[in-house]
Structure 1
Amino acid sequence: MASEDNMPGPVCLIENMEGQMSTNQEALSILSAIQQPVVVVAIVGLYRTGKSYLMNKLAGKNTGFSLGSTVQSQTKGLWMWCMPHPQKPGHTLVLLDTEGLGDVEKGDNQNDCWIFALAILLSSTFVYNSMGVINQQAMDQLHYVTELTDRIRTRCSPNHQELEDSDEYVSFFPDFVWALRDFSLELKINGQAISADEYLENSLRLLQGTGQNEKQIDLNLPRICIRKFFPTKKCFVFERPAPGKKLGQLESMQDQDLDSDFVEQVAEFCSYVFRSSKVKTISGGLKVNGPRLSSLVTTYVNSIINGSLPCVENAVLVLAETENSAALQKAIDHYDQQMSQRVQLPTETLQELLDLHRTCEKEAIKIFMEISFKDVNQVFLTKLEMELERKRREFCKKNQEVSSDHCLSLLRDIFSRLEEDVKQGVYHKPRGYSLFNQKIQELKKKYYEEPGKGVQAEEALKEFLQTKEGITDAILQADQSLTEKERAIEVERVKIEAAERASKLLEEMRQKNEQLMEQKEQIYQERMKQLSEKMEREQEQLKEEQRKAMEHKILEEKKIKEECERLQIENEDLREKASHKCVIS
């Protein structure tokens, strides 16, 4: 089976031919084989800005993702490279390299928007790669982020369409890293040295004049979106790696041939990504593995192909359908395996079988509860309960059949000599009935002493003796030593015994039904307890996600409000100074 351990190089995950997207089944198969949690790092940016070089470095290689050495864009669609995570054992690193944005040969801005949106939706760390400094031109090139609310939906229910809140995006957006290439300026503000992160933070401050007109609002929109959408933000600056003529030879150049500052900056970038990038998660805190990532890719791309907007809620529900089906099957398989190992039919009592069933059912439901998620209206849990109840009935039926067959075989064996004596006429003589009845009691005692008869012991004996009633009556009538009164008394005694056996069987049936009802009630109470605990955990997870999103929202809104107030004061000062000049003039 394909896995991340035998991926010598990248494969195309999402093909983009002439603006038409499609998923690559080979890549999806590779993902489907990865059961480990995945850390997904995606990179986007204008074409010919060196994105692929950084991704190759994250892969620990010089070659892999296509660099290209001309002005023509190389990467088309989204390419994937999976490998064991270098710093997180038991995790897989998934690198996604995207085709360059703004390629003049495509002439299709809509296609670029989808590439940008898919990289956001699929990654846990999102790297935006650009050339030079962060200025208004750089912000203008990031217009894709301002269009995300027109490209992505958080919820897809018709009743919620009007309630779409861009603040919800922060709950599933990846961490944001801005990689500035060929950066040649000094990191200083007002003569004071600053870090790259402080440079980014300062660049995201609102421009003067916010709120004065539509143009100024548009200028600040990318800044607001980046601040509102992304939960964490990081910036790296990179020197020019080598003289211009050598840039086309980066694949073959060793570190000693490159600018030492650039080599160090790339190492710091890789170290940060390895150390800080989180496992990809979806709503509810579920960690994404290869099959789950494959499902997300397929769902989002199919939405785009069908002309609808990728919806996070819908993708999670599609994934939940698959996950819960698998959880259901895993729970049933566990039940089947444990019952086959623990149950030896026939069981001596019904309660013994019910206790084993209850233990295995409880384990199966626990397994389902642990790995299922977003089981809306408990649809799959109900299916599991119905299937386990069906299997319980089958076990009870099989238990009765095995017990009946075993008891019948045992009775035939025990009573075989009696039947032979009857054929030989041993009991067709005076006092023969008494001897026959005495023998019957001896054989019944022997039957009762035999172990392992199971739940049908009494029923099997009753049915077997009923088949002998004709023989018993014939021997009774043939016994000349008995008077008519004694025969009548014996007939009545036999009827009373039969009635007692029937009454005993009815009592057994009543007890069995009572046991079944008690167990159903116990199982129901246990299930409700498990379901309540699971719902509490999910609710706590949801509250935590909402709390983090709200904290981020409040913090950013506070900062934006303060900046707006500062800008308003500055504008008033400027107007006052301008007015003062006019007066002097």
Structure 2
Amino acid sequence: TMSSSLQLIRISNGQYSVCPNAVKQLESIEEDIGVVAVAGAYRTGKSFLLNELLRNIRTYSSSKHASTSKFSENVFQCGPSVQPCTQGIWICTESILIGNEQHSKPFRLLFMDTEGMGSFKASETHDAQIFALALLLSSFFIYNSSHTIDDNAINRLGLVTQLSQYIQSSPKQASLADHSRSPSKRSLSTSSISSQLPFFLWVVRDFSLQLHGTSGERINSSQYLEMALSVTNENDSAKNMEKKHTVKQMIQDYFIDRDCFTLVRPVNEEDKLQHLSSLSQYELRTEFTKEMNNLANYLYTHVAPKTLHNQVLNGRQFVLLCQQYCESLNKGSIVIDSCWENVVRSEAERLISECRALYQREIKQIVAQGTILSLDEFQQLHLDAEKKAMQHFLNKLPNSFKNDKTLYQNDLKNQLVYDFQYYKEKLKKASNHYCIKLVNDQLTLLDSKLKSNQYLKDETMEHFQRDVKAMVQEYQDNASGSEKDTVLLEALLTWLLPSIRSLHQMHLNHLKESSQEEQKQIVTEHITNLDFLKQQYQFEQDSLQQRLNALNETYQKQLSQNQKMQDELHLKTQLVDEHESTISILQSDISTRKQENLSLQSKIEALNEELDESLKSISDLKKQLRDIKATDNDAQEELYSVRMSNQTLKIENESHLQTIEFLEQKNNQLSIQSVDLTKDLNSAKRQFEESQSALADANQILEQNKQLLKNTEQDKDAMSKKRKRLEEKLLEYRNQIQDLENKIRQHELVIMNKNSHIRSFEREMEYEREKALENEDRLRHSLKEKERLLAQDKTLMLERQVEQLNATNRRILEINKNVMEENALLREELIKLGGSLKESSARGALGHLSAGEDNRAHHRSSTDHSKHSEMRRKESLNGGTPLANNLSQMVSMHTLPPRHVSR
């Protein structure tokens, strides 16, 4: 079968859910599973890495475990554009059966691809949640990055600082995380979370550097990772150093079991990099193929099954864990212990249902055969089935569930007791139906014998008693079930007494049809017997009347008690908190009534015993009647001998005739007495029938008491139904409160997402601001450098110009000095040669020459001043130098005076 990928977790409107197709796929895996997850920045080749690992792991596994899966195709989608390919979390549809040295028991290995981090379509919160889910669901975590492990790579893994925000080990830790962010509690949270995280492998792609340590020695990739996590850049600002130190420290604290692997670039050509998924193995670089084989070998030997709280997970448990993590994350954060408790509860309920089904199969195998068991047999069957179910429960119960074993055992026992009561009631009904049919068939045979007068000649009723005993014995042999004795007792109570009365009536009619003398003797015998029976019946009637009165009193008491109970029930239904006490009162009343019913049954048994005694007495009377008949035969023989003697003696015959007449009169009197006795017998029969009706009334009262007990149980059921309705309302209210809390959490999550967006925007603004400040500092530095270089060039130029000006000034000073000397000589000569007339004209000429000289000197001074001002302006622009200032002072000190000398 060809392998493909299925989406495991999807995200819709910020809500995480497990895809049904993936659930169906994973639940079919009954073996233990291990999960390899790959995460990293988007468009860095995670899917390509997973496809290569699948091919290589398949090579290792095929030599040890047969499989028909083909991994030659690309299971996970790869794309050449900048758009992200993977959304949410995906898994490979085919798992690989492996077994390494660390785990002798083979397990299924799943490969998981995650959505890339840092995509322009996703927020930082979204990336952190995907990162947390991948960590918690995997047993071997691969972090994929490119080129080197530098500060930028460390910063991109800064999501670890948010793990404590989305992952808590227990509800107590979650409350601490909400109320405190102190370093001590944060370290406690980190240590508790790190125990739940998988093995961490950092894979550095396109690695082209030489692995050397700080001293130039060669190191391996593991040492390279540890060095990158420990080295700090001293040129960074304090804020950046603290941030990077926090990220590195959390990586070390969270991922105690960690390692690193480096991979060279798969191909050298740029155009092939965009189509790596379509390249064959022969087109990849040999170094890359070799390193990929080493990575696959490392994964094969180090991967372990997915465990949580020391319990190895199978496919079904992994699905439950995914669903719990998604539900918990939708509410804000993942509480690991709470999610695991829900998984344990679901697995325990499934195991209890499985054990209950096993128990029901064991019971149905016997019940379905139509076998009606006795109560003891069914009790033994229940114990055997319960033992099998409990043994199956203990065998299948995972080790991590052992702490709550008693709780789940009690739950299973309660459900098995419910099933036991159900099948017991069903068996009771079947037994009742079968036994009634059996006893009716047998009593029908006896009724046919009674109607055919087969027992008419049986004066001692031995044949009838023998047939009844045989019927009872046959019933006992063939009947079965818990209702066996109850059905027989009810049948005998309803059939035996009328049958005996009918048999007595038949015997009486037979006696009436016999001879007169036998009737007389029978009547005399019956008179004595009837007196005794009358007394006995009167005594029984009195006792029955007393019992009826007692039953009426108890019935009235029960009626009053029932009225009180109904009033109490009417009041107690208004108070939900007093249900338990009302139920206990009802249970006590039910127990007392059961005791009364038992006492009534014992009384009925006593009546049956008395009836047996009366039957015995009747048989004794019949024996006496038979003896009297024997004596009567002897008396007749003697009478015959006397008559024979009277024939010889006529005198004695006459006297005997008189005696006969007297006896005839007596006979008439006896006939009259016989009629009276018949009337008394009929009245005795009526009294007996009245006693039977009283007994029927007593049975009716017993049935009424049973009905009253049934009504009480119905009231109890009604109370339990009301209680269930109240509990359902309470549960509905709790669900509504839970829904409101979920809505509040969703709003909080939306606010949190917005805050995270704002924080990410602020971080981006801060980053842009820092970049702008750095660019400004660089610009200022470059401007200052340029100004410094420009100032140095201008200073050299000005120094050369000043030297030229100084040379010119020296020449001008020498000329002025010569001119002043010539002027002094000319003045002296003019003074000597001038006369009075010439003196005035000479003075005018001298004034004219002086004015012209003054004009030329003033022109030179203004020109020098303008040059000096221009030099000052340039020096001020260039910052000025001490040498230029001194030169300017020297030029200003040696400026020529405004003189003009005519040659």
Same-fold call, TM cutoff 0.5: yes
For residues 296 and 429 of structure 1, the distance between their equivalents in structure 2, rounded to whole angstroms, comes to 87
Shift of residue 497, structure 1, vs aligned partner: 8.1
Unaligned runs of at least 5 residues, structure 1 = 1-5, 503-585
Please identify the structure whose Cα radius of gyration is greater: 2
Q: 1:500–1:53: structure 2 CA closer, same or farther, 3 Å change rule?
A: farther
SS of match in other structure, 1:425: coil
* 1:262 CA drift (Å): 0.9
Q: Which residue of structure 2 lines up, in the alignment, with residue 356 of structure 1?
A: 381
Q: How does 1:202-281 map to 2 (within 5 A)?
A: 202-205=227-230, 207=232, 215-245=240-270, 246-281=272-307
Counterpart of 1:38 (choices 33, 36, 40) is 33
Q: Where do residues 14-413 of structure 1 align in structure 2 (5 Å cutoff)?
A: 14-16=9-11, 21-60=16-55, 61-88=72-99, 91-103=107-119, 105-106=120-121, 108-157=123-172, 161=176, 165-189=189-213, 190-205=215-230, 207=232, 215-245=240-270, 246-283=272-309, 285-306=310-331, 308-342=332-366, 346=371, 349-369=374-394, 370-371=396-397, 373=401, 381-413=409-441
Distance change (3 Å), C-alpha of 1:497 and 1:446: farther
Q: How far is the alpha carbon of 1:140 from its aligned partner? A: 1.6
Is the partner of 1:188 in helix, strand or coil?
coil
Please give the per-residue CA displacement for 1:498-531, whole angstroms capped at 9, x wherever unaligned.
35999xxxxxxxxxxxxxxxxxxxxxxxxxxxxx
Paired with 2:361 and 2:16, the residues of 1 have a C-alpha distance of 44
Is residue 30 of structure 2 the alignment partner of residue 8 of structure 1? no
Paired residues of 2:372 and 2:430 also in contact (CA < 8 A): no
Secondary structure of 1:70's aligned partner: coil
Distance 1:233 1:84 in 2: 25
For the 8 Å contact 1:462–1:501, the answer to whether it is kept is no
Query: 1:158: how far off?
Result: 8.3
Tell me if structure 1 keeps the 8 A contact 2:373–2:427. Answer: no
The answer to whether the 8 A contact 2:438-2:479 is kept is no
Distance 1:495 1:27, change over 3 A: closer
Q: CA, structure 1 residues 73+453, in 2 after alignment: closer, same or farther (shift >3 Å)? A: closer
Does the aligned pair in 1 maintain the 2:97–2:106 contact within 8 Å? no
* Structure 2 residue matching 1:92: 3-state secondary structure: strand
Q: What is the alpha-carbon distance in structure 2 between the residues aligned to residue 452 and residue 225 of structure 1?
A: 79
Distance 1:401 1:375, change over 3 A: farther
Q: 1:53 to 1:375 in 2, by over 3 A?
A: same
Residue among 482, 490, 514 paired with 1:463: 490
Q: Counterpart in 2 of 1:563? A: none
Q: Which residue of 2 aligns with 1:510?
A: none
Normalization by structure 2: what TM-score? Answer: 0.50
Distance 2:276 2:216 in 1: 35
Task: Rate the CA distance shift 1:298–1:457 in 2: closer, same or farther, 3 A.
Answer: closer
Task: After TM superposition, list the pairs within 5 Å mapping 1:543-554 onto structure 2.
Answer: none
More helix by share: 2
Q: Distance in 1 between matches of 2:469 and 2:445?
A: 14
- Residue equivalent to 1:517: none
CA distance in 2, matches of 1:207, 1:259: 35
The range that moved more, 333-342 or 58-67, is 58-67
SS at match of 1:278: coil
Distance 1:423 1:99 in 2: 95
Task: State the Cα distance separating 1:237 from its structure 2 match.
Answer: 1.1
The amino acid across from 2:35 in the alignment is V
- Alpha-carbon distance in structure 2 between the residues aligned to 1:339 and 1:381: 20
- What is the CA–CA distance in structure 2 between the aligned matches of 1:17 and 1:392, rounded to whole Å? 47
**Whole-Å Cα distance in 1 between the matches of residues 605 and 40 of structure 2?**
95
Cα distance change of structure 1 residues 430 and 251 upon mapping to structure 2, 3 Å threshold: closer
Secondary structure of the residue that 1:14 maps to in structure 2?
strand
For residues 361-406 of structure 1, the C-alpha deviation after alignment (integer angstroms, 9 at most, x for no partner) is: 1222343443374886966544432221111122222333333333
CA distance in 2, matches of 1:490, 1:438: 26
Q: Secondary structure at the match of 2:439?
A: helix
Q: Give distance in 2, aligned partners of 1:202 and 1:351.
A: 77
Write out aligned runs for 1:507-518 (5 A).
none
Q: Please tell me whether the aligned partners of residues 428 and 478 of structure 1 are also in contact (alpha carbons under 8 angstroms).
A: yes
Match of 1:442 in 2: 470
| Distance in 2 of aligned mates of 1:67 and 1:418 | 93
Identify which of structures 1 and 2 has the higher relative contact order when contacts are C-alpha pairs closer than 8 Å and 6+ apart: 1
What's the Cα RMSD here? 3.4
How far apart in 1 are the matches of 2:611 and 2:318? 64
After the TM superposition, which of the residue ranges 168-177 and 266-275 deviates more from structure 2?
A: 266-275
Shift of 1:124: 1.1
Mapped partners of 2:359, 2:379: distance in 1:
13
Q: Give the partner amino acid of 1:195.
A: N
Tell me how far apart the structure 2 counterparts of residues 299 and 405 of structure 1 sit (CA, whole Å): 51
Q: Matched residues, percent identical? A: 26
- Equivalent position SS for 2:230: coil
User: Structure 1 residues 220, 443: closer, same or farther in 2, change over 3 A?
Assistant: same
1:432 and 1:475 in contact (8 A); partners too: no
State the SS of the aligned residue for 1:193.
coil
Structure 1 letter corresponding to 2:291: Q
- Return closer, same or farther for 1:317/1:478 CA change in 2, 3 Å cut-off: same
- The 3-state SS of whatever aligns with 1:147 is helix
Inter-partner Cα distance in structure 2 for 1:208 and 1:71:
32
Residues 462/150 of structure 1: CA separation in 2 closer, same or farther (3 Å cut): same
Q: Is this contact kept in 1: 2:98–2:106, CA < 8 A?
A: no
- Residue 71 of structure 1 aligns to a residue whose secondary structure is coil
Query: In structure 2, what residue type is equivalent to 1:52?
Result: S
Q: What residue identity is the alignment partner of 1:227?
A: Q
Between 1:114-123 and 1:439-448, the stretch displaced more is: 439-448
Equivalents in 1 of 2:216, 2:320: separation in Å?
A: 51
Give 1:39 shift: 1.5
The secondary structure found in structure 2 opposite 1:53 is: helix
Q: Distance in 2 between matches of 1:166 and 1:383?
A: 37
* Contact 1:431–1:479 (Cα < 8 Å) also in 2: yes
Structure 1 residues 255 and 392, CA, compared in 2 at 3 Å: closer, same or farther? Answer: same
2: distance between equivalents of 1:465 and 1:490?
22
Aligned-partner Cα distance in 2 for 1:459–1:97:
71
CA distance in 1, matches of 2:10, 2:378: 56
Q: Which structure 2 residue ranges, 5 or more long, are not aligned?
A: 56-71, 100-104, 178-184, 512-521, 541-603, 613-903
Aligned to 1:535: none
